[in-house]
Structure 1
Amino acid sequence: MTTPYEDLLARAQADPGVLGIVLTGSQARDGMATDHSDADVIVVVAEYGGAWTATTHSPELDTIPTSLADLADTSDRWRRYAYRGARVLLDRLDGRVGELVRAQATLSPAERDAWTREELDGYVNFVYRAAKNRRDGRPELARLEEIEAAPWFLWTLFSLYGRVRPYNKYLRWELETFPLPAPWTADHLIPALADRPSALFAELETAVRAAGFGDVLDGWGPELELCR
């Protein structure tokens, strides 16, 4: 008896209108799948229609029809990590599907520059707000600002190295499978982000200044001292 995943692959491969098949999610990433993991399959088509119109979900399988134009559209930042570590199972466009998958999973030089600047400024903003709340005797509000700072830190860090931010579920997998330079190990980052993201400020400042983004920090003027 075939599984829903096997049935989908057979149907998609038999359909000449299907341009590509991409496996993503935990099943695509070595060591991440559990007994509860479904298969997430992106079915690439020229245009939506027929059997490939809307995403369907089940405990065993998520089927995600995606047009070629949408696969080429990198404007949705959050969706892009779905393609990190994804496996191209079928490519009827002589490698084009694979190229688009890789483009989703990495940043262009222009994206790296723009994203790093934007996200770094946001991280500094929340660290600064947390510091002001601690200074003024509002620890609970400082904690809320720290929570807000964590995603901005992650976007900054991964953008700095030309990569898209991983979903939290895959953060350890990402850092251990595709390590960043020291000191950015999973055992260092994850506890700090869960406890107090502002504690990473000094190390991030060193990294972003070395990469040429010090002007973003300097734009904060004397207020930067409170962040430190």
Structure 2
Amino acid sequence: MDILGEVMERAGGDPNVLGVVLTGSQARGMAGPWSDVDVTVVVEVQDEPWRHDTRTSRLDEVVCTVDGLADTSVHWRRYGFRGAKVLLDRLGGGIAELVGRQATLSGAEAAAHAREMLGAYVNQVYRAVKSYRNGDEDAGRLDAAESVAWLLECVFAMHGRLRPYNKYLQWELDSFPLPGGWNAALRPGAVAGAAISLFGDVEGLARERGHGDVLDGWGTDIDLIRAFRMAETSALGIVACSRLPGDEPAPHSMPGTDQAVVPHPSS
């Protein structure tokens, strides 16, 4: 019997177990030779809402209560349930409903998270631009790299979605494409060096979604980002364009550099 079969046999014989959820690469069809089996076992009663029960090279098992699974306040945990497979549901669909709730932002959650992450993204890009302006290119590159996480958080939230874990970013874009040219712009190989050059597109999307006041709160400081972004995109020859999902030409590099030129999405 394989490891998942062992988990299911044990769960099936335990009346305290109400559900079993397969997550991770196995659930998403991405398992490789080094992949373990990630499962969340939902129980009726235990001393704490969440407990890491088993962690081996073959099995990563987390045990939680129904109330724990219903708690969506821990943001980083939620994407883990995207694409999850419910293998046992003794609540007549209740476990599947809670799993779906974990993996999906409500409209209010998406709007609040988008605003918070937009502010963090602008702040980090502003730091990067100031570092470049001051002649500290190493700090500028570090700041720009750090802003990519906030970029992904805010763009996905503005589309009502949770930001994928990095290893699942391409899977997310392939499985659930974003509109316009965002699928091409956010590919792992493209977005890693594009936090500043995508600023204008993020700004356009934010204003369309009603978050313009977050940007306006920066006053004239934001003009420094706009000016740097325009200079950067002009130097690299990047032209804003609108592309349909799936229309993803490979990025190319400027002669003598390893910096990718990426297509710019429409909002």
Normalised by the shorter chain, which TM-score bucket?
Answer: over 0.9
1:130 — aligned with what?
Answer: 128
Q: Which residue does 1:72 correspond to in 2?
A: 70
Residue 171 of structure 1: SS of its match in structure 2?
helix
Distance of 1:116 and 1:96 partners within structure 2:
29
Give distance in 2, aligned partners of 1:137 and 1:147: 17
- Name stretches of at least 5 consecutive residues in structure 2 with no aligned partner: 227-267
Q: Mapping of 1:164-203 within 5 angstroms?
A: 164-186=162-184, 188-203=186-201
Change (3 A) 1:62 1:102: same
What SS does the aligned partner of 1:79 have?
helix
Normalising by structure 2, what TM-score?
0.80
Between Structure 1 and Structure 2, the one with more helix by share is 1
- In 2, distance between residues paired with 1:170 and 1:218? 33
| CA offset digits 1:79-118 (Å, max 9, x no partner) | 1011000001111111111111111101111111110100
Q: Say whether 1:98 aligns with 2:100.
A: no
2:11 matched residue in structure 1: 12
Q: Distance in 2 between matches of 1:15 and 1:188?
A: 44
Distance in 2, Cα, partners of 1:118 & 1:187:
22
Give the Å deviation of 1:219. 1.0
Aligned match of 1:36: 34
1:23–1:88 contact (8 Å) kept in structure 2: yes
Question: Is residue 2:110 matched to residue 1:112?
Answer: yes
The corresponding residue for 2:258 is none
Displacement of 1:186: 4.6
**Stretches (4+) displaced over 3 A:** 186-189
Indicate conservation of the 8 Å contact 2:185/2:191, yes or no.
Answer: no
Cα deviation 1:136-157 (Å, max 9, x = unaligned): 1010111111122011111101
CA distance in structure 2 between the partners assigned to 1:113 and 1:187 by the alignment: 22
Task: Supply the AA of the counterpart residue of 1:197.
Answer: A
> Can you give the 5+ residue segments of structure 1 that lack an aligned partner in the other structure?
none
User: CA-to-partner distance for each residue in 1:38-66, whole Å, 9 max, x for gaps?
Assistant: 110110001226xx964211111111111
Q: In 2, distance between residues paired with 1:152 and 1:28? A: 27
Gap change, CA 1:197 and 1:189, over 3 Å in 2? farther
Q: What is the alpha-carbon distance in structure 1 between the residues aligned to residue 52 and residue 195 of structure 2?
A: 39
SS at match of 2:64: strand
* Letter of the structure 2 residue corresponding to residue 175 of structure 1: L
- Considering only aligned residues, what root-mean-square deviation do their CA atoms show, in Å? 1.5
Judged with a 3 Å threshold, the aligned counterparts in structure 2 of structure 1 residues 54 and 47 are, in CA distance, closer, same or farther, namely: farther
Q: Distance in 2 between matches of 1:175 and 1:128?
A: 28
Question: Which one of 207, 210, 214 corresponds to residue 208 of structure 2?
Answer: 210
Q: How many aligned positions are there?
A: 224
CA distance in structure 2 between the aligned counterparts of 1:53 and 1:73, rounded to whole angstroms:
14
Maintained 8 Å contact 2:41/2:64? yes
Counterpart in the other structure of 2:148: 150
| Aligned residues of 1:192 and 1:199 also touching (Cα < 8 A) | no
Name the SS of the counterpart of 2:197 in structure 1.
helix
1:22 paired to 2:21: yes
Contact between 1:24 and 1:83, CA under 8 Å: does it hold in 2?
Answer: yes
Separation (CA, whole Å) in 1 of partners of 2:154 and 2:62: 29
Q: 2:169–2:187: 8 Å Cα contact kept in structure 1?
A: no
**C-alpha displacement at 1:195, in angstroms?**
1.7
Structure 1 CA distance for aligned equivalents of residues 213 and 204 of structure 2:
13
- Residues 1:198 and 1:60: Cα distance change in structure 2 (over 3 Å): same
1:199 alignment partner, SS class: coil
Question: 1:84 maps to which residue?
Answer: 82
